Amino acid sequence: MSGEVQAAAVLGGLTESEELEDRRGPQRPRRRRIGLGDWLLPVYVVLAFIFLLIPIAYTFVFSFNDSLKSNIAWRGFTFDKWLNVCNVEGGAVCEAFGNSIVIGLVSTVVATTLGTMIAIALVRYRFRARSAISLLLFLPMATPEVVLGAGLAAQFLAVGVPKDMLTIILAHTMFCISFVVVTVKARVASLDPALEEAGRDLYGSPREVFWRITFPLLTPGIMAAALLSFALSFDDFIITNFNSGSVTTFPKYIYISASRGIPAEANVIASAVFLVALAIVVIAQVSRAARAKRLAAQMG
């Protein structure tokens, strides 16, 4: 599974690792002898995680900075920036943030729909030009963003389409489709065909079988794909930069402001988004663990 897909699974709290249990070797009693490797690795891991989280902590801390226009030096603690997020530069940060949300939602809906349809077709049907289609789905993921961005921009330029929200949405949908296909495809492939056959056997018409059996069973995969799409779109800067014209998204706002200094309000928004995302994922993971535990308890 690819990094993004794995990320999607974690985002959705859906990593199904229980089923792998017996493939990975029997449970061993812990070794009593404590060697160098036993503490070296955990210590390294702790330090590595601290390192990974430094910029996040930095961003979070500086969202409370009583800064003026730029947010570089520490000037004292304040809640003001959290309470009045939109009161800076005439609400430019909030407008950019709003644009990012709208673009993220629309591209997610379109990409998830198109990608899910392709994923089902790839697993379930035979058709010609299969390898060509696989290549077409694979290439956008193997192409550097700057090439994707420049290509679309060149295209819009050639056709004479003005760059605005629509061009951003078109661009984001394009690079999200392949990721949706990969995520959902894994789910479709792991779906037991006997379940749908049982639905047909139990008098379900093709439409009923799809909506009552197939679709609900694919939902976790589709949800994970949608979350991934939204995350990819929301955080995208490079492709957006080539195709946005005068429209500003949240990452683009940061890029533009970087030379003159980022207001603390941007840190507030980023920190809030971070906390919301983290809460969603942690809740999903914890409830999944609790569910697994409950299941195990009931099975005795």
Partner 1 sequence: MSIREFAESGADLELVGIQKRFPGFTAIEELDLTIPAGSFFALLGPSGCGKTTTLRLVAGLEEPTAGRILIGGKDVTDTKAHQRPVNTVFQSYALFPHMSIIDNVAFGLKRRRIGDAQTKAHEALKLVELDHLAQRRPAQLSGGQQQRVALARAIVNRPALLLLDEPLGALDLKLRRQMQLELKTIQEEVGLTFLHVTHDQEEAMTMADTVAVMNKGAIEQMGAPEELYELPRTAFVANFLGKSNLFTGDVVGTTESAMTVDAGGHRITVATARSQRHRGLVTVGVRPEKVTLHAEQPDEVADRNLLGPGRVIDVSFAGVSTEYIVAVPGVGTMSVFAQNMTFGPVAHEGSEVWLSWDVEHGFGLSDEPDESSRFPADADTQSIAVQRREALITELEGS
Partner 2 sequence: MAFAAFATTEAQPQTTRRKSPIALFLLLPGILYLVLFFLTPLISLILTSLQAPSEFGDIGVYDYAFNWQNYVTVIQDYWPHILRSFGYALLATVFALLFSYPIAYFIGVKARRRPLLQSLLLVLVIAPFFISFLLRTLAWKQILSDESLIITSLKALSLLAPDAYFAGTPFAVVFGLTYNFIPFMTLPLYTTLERLDTRYLEAGSDLYANSFTVFRKVTIPLSMPGIVAGTLLTFIPAAGDYVNASRDFLGGPDTQMMGNVIEANFLVLLNYPAAAALSIILMAAILVLVGVYVKRSGTEDLL
Phi, psi of 298 (to 5 degrees): -70, -30
Length of the chain: 300
Residue 195 as a binder of partner 1 (CB under 8 A): the answer is yes
Considering the complex, what minimum distance in angstroms separates the CB of residue 216 from partner 2? 18
Which x/- pattern, by CB under 8 A, does the window 55-94 give for partner 1?
Answer: ----------------------------------------
Residue 202 binds what, of partner 1, partner 2, none (CB under 5 to 8 Å, by partner type)? partner 1
Residue 200 binds what, of partner 1, partner 2, none (CB under 5 to 8 Å, by partner type)? partner 1
Residue 192 as a binder of partner 1 (CB under 8 A): the answer is yes
- Per CB under 8 A, contacts with partner 1 among 198-217 are 198-206, 208-209, 212-213, 216-217
Residue 10 binds what, of partner 1, partner 2, none (CB under 5 to 8 Å, by partner type)? partner 2
The encoded tokens of residue 137 equal 């789905």
Residue 18 binds what, of partner 2, partner 1, none (CB under 5 to 8 Å, by partner type)? partner 2
User: How far is CA 248 from its chain centroid?
Assistant: 21
How far apart CA 99 and CA 96 sit, in angstroms, is: 5
How far apart CA 272 and CA 269 sit, in angstroms, is: 5
Residue 190 as a binder of partner 1 (CB under 8 A): the answer is no
Residue 129 as a binder of partner 1 (CB under 8 A): the answer is no
For the beta carbon of residue 58, count every other beta carbon within 10 angstroms: 11
Query: Is 206 or 261 the residue whose CB approaches partner 1 more closely?
Result: 206
Residue 79 binds what, of partner 1, partner 2, none (CB under 5 to 8 Å, by partner type)? none
**Side chain identity at 148, as an amino acid letter?**
L
Residue 197 as a binder of partner 1 (CB under 8 A): the answer is yes
Partnered with residue 65 across adjacent β-strands are: 77
Burial 172-189 (b: 16+ CB within 10 A, else e): bbbbbbbbbbbbbbbbbe
Phi, psi of 65 (to 5 degrees): -75, 130
Residue 90 binds what, of partner 1, partner 2, none (CB under 5 to 8 Å, by partner type)? none
Q: Give yes or no for a contact between 269 and 250, defined as CB atoms under 8 angstroms apart.
A: yes
Q: Could you give the dihedral angle defined by the CA atoms of residues 252, 258, 260 and 261, in that order, rounded to the nearest 10 degrees?
A: 110
Residue 13 as a binder of partner 1 (CB under 8 A): the answer is no
Task: Give residues in contact with partner 1 (CB under 8 A).
Answer: 192, 194-195, 197-206, 208-209, 212-213, 216-217, 295, 298-299
